[in-house]
Chain A
């Protein structure tokens, strides 16, 4: 068994005092694709945003528990969230390239990180890994906003890779894309997991079943008295097991499409 990339223990997240995620504990293995699935509002995005401290940017957000990254708590008192994000890349739901050239988009991260080597070579390598190089190599100085949605998303992946992280977090990376672009992103993820650990949030169960090695199912728990609701981790394990022999009834109902 490899040492896990992330070891999350008793993670509780609340926004402005309202609990959003309760007692989540799980380990994420290196060079695997871990899918986080569950109905809307179950805290999938909240969870993934804890892994690179993006929740710090939400006013009123409070995170309790431990998120060990290679044995170090990223919420530890000595840890700077900026440094965390330089090691843990993120791709968002809507492709969000900067209104800059394709080259400058990929070079953004390395530049702010004080990259000293051959920037052109790094940009090319990142674009090749993101399977975008052949489509853009002749228009590196053109605006990134002129690309198609699928190309923009792969550009965002290239941009995340360029800072040479070892984890890539993907928050519903294909939900704004058409089916063909989605397949390309999924193929790309299979390539990327040779070198990176990937955590993907998706509301598309087929996608989770197709691409991931492990699947975590999050579900909304409701407190009838106070009418408050929060997300809990119901089941976590190898993807095949979650989809074919789920242990929990709620998982079975969800993956068989009975709700959600």
Chain B
């Protein structure tokens, strides 16, 4: 036994040097357990570790597989429509399933316009809310407000849609659309006849839906700004507003772009609320106070009554929507990278 031999050598050495003979039971003679013995003892933990590693790897791969499978099958389902319509599927402005004409540009247009309106309204409000919560609010009021804003995110979108139609439409959307059109009617984007069931109406409700997302993220972004930056600005004679504008916002820019893009992503894909409020007219109108349609809304509205080709066309709409979302997300990521690299 290797152990025994080496143990003897050591105690012999000790005996020579120290001039005393130790009994073998002396605890000082006990060597620490060998590394391989320790490894054996930890065997169970090691096995769990490996199991965890594999589970994580499988889950990760599974996500990619599901994504690839989704892209392949939906594209495959829509393929007959893609080939028969060709490029006019995305450039065509006429959607007439009864005659087999499938041009989805009005839906692409409607999705983009409603989402842009939502972001234009939601971003300033969200920044205001989160700046108030991080920089201005007394601490006792921060918690309740933050919680209320977070609760907005938990409301199901169909509730937003119904509330939009039954409460916000008569109370605000309809009068606001008419007012916009009567004051700014000379601009093509506010041309009459105005209705609340329009790009504008859908955009406003979308804005309310994405405010919690953007403001929750922006809050974290602002909170991550080091206090040193704030002190530096104050020490140079900055007012609170100058401190926020010159020290907090610049430091937060990449994060704010990210927050905006996540909100935009939610707006692009939102279905029910838009379907209820956008007016469901498959046309392209320059005026945002007139009815239109969106990609997600047309899928939801027409799927139950579509014929076989119609279903393939609607799946095709889904594929294009997916592609647009991916392109926008990638563009956002590139933009954030560039902002960070500029530092």
Contacts and interface: CB of A to CB of B under 8 A. Distances in A.
A163 B228 contact: no
A180 interface: no
Interface of A: 52, 54, 57, 59, 82-83, 85-86, 89-90, 92, 94, 96-100, 108-109, 112-113, 143, 145, 156, 159-160, 163
Given A86-B237, A159-B236, A160-B235, A96 B251 contact: no
B246 interface: yes
Given A92-B228, A96-B228, A99-B343, A108 B251 contact: no
A97 B233 CA distance: 10
Contact of A82 (B231, B232, B238, B246): B238
Chain B interface residue bracket vs A: 20 to 34
B226, B232, B234, B250: residue with the most chain A Cβ atoms closer than 10 Å: B232
A99 B254 CA distance: 12
Nearest to A87: B237
Report, nearest first, the 7 A-B pairs whose CB atoms are least far apart. A86-B237, A96-B228, A90-B235, A109-B236, A85-B237, A96-B232, A112-B242
B232 A98 contact: yes
A211 to B, nearest CB: 21
A226 B242 CA distance: 42
A203 B233 CA distance: 25
B229 interface: yes
A198 to B, nearest CB: 15
Interface string B205-228: 000000000000000000000101
A133 B247 CA distance: 24
Contact of B246 (A83, A108, A156): A108
B341 to A, nearest CB: 10
Contacts of B226: 96
A22 to B, nearest CB: 25
Nearest to A112: B242
A100 B250 CA distance: 8
Contacts of A57: 231, 234
B233, B234, B236, B250: residue with the most chain A Cβ atoms closer than 10 Å: B236
Contacts of A113: 237
A116 B16 CA distance: 88
Contacts of A99: 229, 250-251, 343
Contacts of A100: 250
27 contacts: A54-B231, A57-B231, A59-B139, A82-B239, A83-B237, A85-B234, A86-B236, A86-B237, A89-B236, A96-B231, A97-B232, A98-B233, A98-B247, A99-B229, A99-B251, A108-B236, A108-B246, A109-B237, A112-B236, A112-B239, A112-B242, A112-B246, A145-B343, A159-B232, A160-B235, A160-B236, A163-B237
A156 B231 CA distance: 12
Contacts of A54: 231, 234-235
A145 B343 CA distance: 7
A163 B233 CA distance: 12
B239 A92 contact: no
B170 to A, nearest CB: 45
